[in-house]
Structure 1
Amino acid sequence: MEQLATPPTAKAPAERFTGDVWVDGIITALPPARLTAATVRFSPCARTAWHRHALGQTLHVTEGLGIVASRDGTVIVMRPGDTVHTPPGEWHWHGAAPDHFMNHLALSESSDTPHTPDVEWGEHVTDEEYATAARAI
């Protein structure tokens, strides 16, 4: 058994996020395990860029009100206690509602496949795409 060091809170990179987003890493896969977990805090209107995970992603909301949307137009409003899973390869984004902060646990697995990124990042979510999804609230 080992107590792991707690990494410092990090500002999410602007090339992958819009708005103020902060990340607290919980664990990065320690082989043979593949789990990566973090607490992510979004300010109102903040969001990820479009992205997809090689092995999918699970989000569990701990506070606030959020949105997750996929390329096919599916929008899910997330509230505390809600858990949303995006399957492997599904392009999606997630973030806070326009007038609320949102915190979630982000859980994903690292791939064992060489030269395959665990996460593939795409373009930023436009203000129009965000506004369309936010209408579901």
Structure 2
Amino acid sequence: MKVSPDYYDEIFHFKGEWDMPSLCGLKIRIIKNKTYIIVTELYQDNPGTSVTYAGEKLARQICEQKRLKLEDCVYVECTPDTNSKLSFYDEEYFIVDFSADLQHRYRQLSTDEIKQIFEHKVINRIEE
């Protein structure tokens, strides 16, 4: 099951659980002085930890590499549409609040919220 490159601007390499080499799709958008970090699950193309299980560790690695402050960012996890008959492979986006308890950590974005995020231009990438 291949994830369309429309979901990401770059493949981001990160250390997952037990420092396992892992991959995710990454988009960064700036909207009204707020930075949105959108990570996309790559399924079989990711040899390691999923974005959901990597969570805050992944967010911190992205911020460190891109010279961002996590507290100034909105972290979004994307489950991309893979044209599967299985409903858990449908497209979904969730804002993740790492300061919230587990019950309130994830908030699913509406279609309108998703459109607003993707209407904005890509920020200049900061090279390693």
- TM-score > 0.5 by shorter chain: no
Computing the radius of gyration from Cα coordinates, the structure with the larger value is 1
Q: TM-score scaled to structure 2, two decimals?
A: 0.28
Q: Give the structure with the larger strand fraction.
A: 1
TM-score scaled by length of structure 1: 0.27
